[in-house]
Amino acid sequence: MTTTDSTAAVEAVFRIEFPRLVGGLTRRIGDVGLAEELAQDALVDALEQWPRDGTPRNPGAWLMTVAKRKAVDRFRRDRVLAAKYARIGVDPEATGTDEFDLHLDLDDDHIADDRLRLIFVSCHPVLSMPSRLALTLRLLGGLTTAEIARAYVQPEATIAQRIVRAKKTITDAGIPFEVPVGDERAARLGSVLEVVYLIFNEGYSATSGESWLRTDLCQEAVRLGRLLAALTEEEAEVHGLLALMEIQSSRLAARLGPNGEPVLLLDQDRRRWDPLLISRGLASLERAQALGDGTGIYTLQAAIAACHVRCRRAEDTDWAQIAALYETLAKAMPSPIVELNRAVAISMAFGPAAGLAHIDQLGETGTLDRYHLFHSVRGDLLGKLGRNAEAADEFELAATMTENDAERELCRQRAADARRALTTG
C-alpha cells in the first residue's frame, strides 16, 4: 500500500498549496471569497483524479491551472462579474484559456508577497476578532472549517458562517489585496500579530476542549509566525512575537503533571523544556532586539520568557531584570495584569514587602477587585510577611472568584493553611 495517492496525501498537498493558491488567485481576480471557492473546487477535482491517476509532479501548478479554468467557466456563466473581465483583460467570448493563462500566470516572484497580502486581508480590522482568527486559520493555515471548529470547540456551522460573512465583508468593504504602507502599516501589522498571538494563546491556555487539539493551535500559530518572519524580515516585532511563541512552546510538555494537572512555571521540570525551541526562540529574540530598540510589546514579553528559559534552575532566575522588563512593558502596554506580574517579580527580587507595596498601589485603582489572581498573589505576599489573618481573607476571596475547580481548591487550601498558622503561630 502506498500513502502517495490516498485522500490524506491529497489533503496534505492541498494544505501546503492553499495559501499560495488563494493568494495567487486573489491577486488576479481581486476577490478573496471567489478565490477561496475556486481553490476549493480545484481540491474537489484533485480528490477525484489524483487517487485514480496519481499525484501530478507539480501539484501546485496543477491546482492553479484547474482553478484558473474554473474561473474562466464562472466568468463565462456569470454576467454580473463582467467588470472583473475588464480588470484581468479577459474576453469572455474568446474560446480556450490561452489568453486567460497569460494574465493568470504563476509568477514565482509574487508568491511570497501574495501570502503576505493575504494575511493582511484576513487580519483586517474591518472584521470582528473571531472572524479574523477563523479566516486566518482557513486561508493561511489551510485548515478546513471542521478542523477550526474542533479546535475552538464550536459547531462547524458557526465557523462556516463566520468565514462566509468575513469574506463578504471584505468584498463589500472593497479591501484591497495589498500590503499596507506608511502609517497604516504599523497598525495593520499590529492586528496581524494580535491575531497570531490570540491563536497561540487559545492553544496555550487550554481553557476547554481536548488538550491535544489546543496544542495544535499553538503549532499553527508558530507556523504563521515563522511564515511572517520569513516574509517581513526587517520587522522587529514579528521576530519578537515568533521568539515569544517558540519560547512558550518549549515549555508545553512541562506544563502538565502526570495526572494532567497544571504545573506552575517555577515548579516545572526544566529538563522537559524543549532545547531546540528554546534556541530557536532565543535566536529570534536576538534578531528582534537587533532590528528594533527592544521596547516592542512582543519583544519585551519574549525577553521576559527568555530570562526563565536561560536558567537551568528556578532559583537562578534574574528577578531584578524581569521586574525591570515588566516596568518597560507596563509603559508600552499599560495593563493591570502586567502590573500584577511586575509586583510578583518585584517581590521575588526585592522581598515580599516591596511586592506588597506595589500590589497595594495597584489595588487602589480598583480594576483588579474581581480578579482572583490579584487576591491570591496578595494573599501569598501577606502570608510571607506573617500577616496570616489578612492572607486567609484574600485566599477565601480568590476562591469565590475563580471558575477553575483545581484553582478554587488550591485557594481554599491556602486559606485553611493561613488560618492554621494563625492559631498555632
Where does this chain bind another protein (CB under 8 A)? 3-4, 6, 8-9, 11-13, 15-16, 57, 112, 212, 215-216, 219, 222-227, 230-231, 252-253, 272, 274, 276, 280
Residue 362 in contact with residue 378, Cβ under 8 Å? no
Cβ atoms < 10 Å from Cβ of 368: 19
Cβ 211 to another protein, closest distance in Å? 10
3-state secondary structure the chain: CCCCCCHHHHHHHHHHHHHHHHHHHHHHHCCHHHHHHHHHHHHHHHHHHHHHHCCCCCHHHHHHHHHHHHHHHHHHHCHHHHHHHHHHCCCCCCCCCHHHHHHCCCCHHHHHHHHHHHHHHHCCCCCCHHHHHHHHHHHCCCCCHHHHHHHCCCCHHHHHHHHHHHHHHHHHHCCCCCCCCCHHHHHHHHHHHHHHHHHHHHHHHCCCCCHHHHHHHHHHHHHHHHHHHHHCCCCHHHHHHHHHHHHHHHCHHHHECCCCCECCHHHCCHHHCCHHHHHHHHHHHHHHHHHCCCCCHHHHHHHHHHHHHCCCCHHHCCHHHHHHHHHHHHHHCCCHHHHHHHHHHHHHHHCHHHHHHHHHHHHCCCCCCCCHHHHHHHHHHHHHCCCHHHHHHHHHHHHHHCCCHHHHHHHHHHHHHHHHHHHHC
Q: Convert 325-359 to b/e letters by CB count within 10 Å (16 or more is b).
A: bbebbbeeeeebebbbbbbbbbbbbeebebbbebb
Residue whose CB is less far from another protein, 274 or 393: 274
Give the residue with the Cβ less far from another protein, 245 or 411.
245
The nearer residue to another protein, 185 or 223, going by C-beta atoms, is 223
**Shortest distance, position 378 Cβ to another protein, whole Å:** 35
CB of 152 to another protein, least distance (A): 17
Shortest distance (Å) from residue 218 CB to another protein: 10
Residue 268's nearest CA partner among 233, 235, 313 is 313
Between residues 141 and 296, which has the closer beta carbon with respect to another protein? 141
Least gap, CB of 255 to another protein (angstroms): 10
Nearer to another protein, 226 or 270 (CB): 226
Angle separating helix axes 156-173 and 32-53, nearest 10 degrees = 130
What minimum distance in Å lies between the beta carbon of 28 and another protein?
21
Residue 112 CB, nearest approach to another protein (Å): 7
- Closer residue to another protein, CB minimum distance, 256 or 401: 256
- Shortest reach from residue 235's CB to another protein, in Å: 15
**Residue placing its CB nearer to another protein in the complex, 143 or 418:** 143
CB of 230 vs another protein, minimal distance in Å: 4
* Distance in angstroms (rounded) separating the CA atoms of residues 18 and 122: 14
By beta-carbon proximity to another protein, the closer residue of 8 and 83 is 8
Considering the complex, state which of residue 9 and residue 263 has its C-beta at the smaller distance from another protein.
Answer: 9
- Minimum CB distance to another protein smaller for 7 or for 413: 7
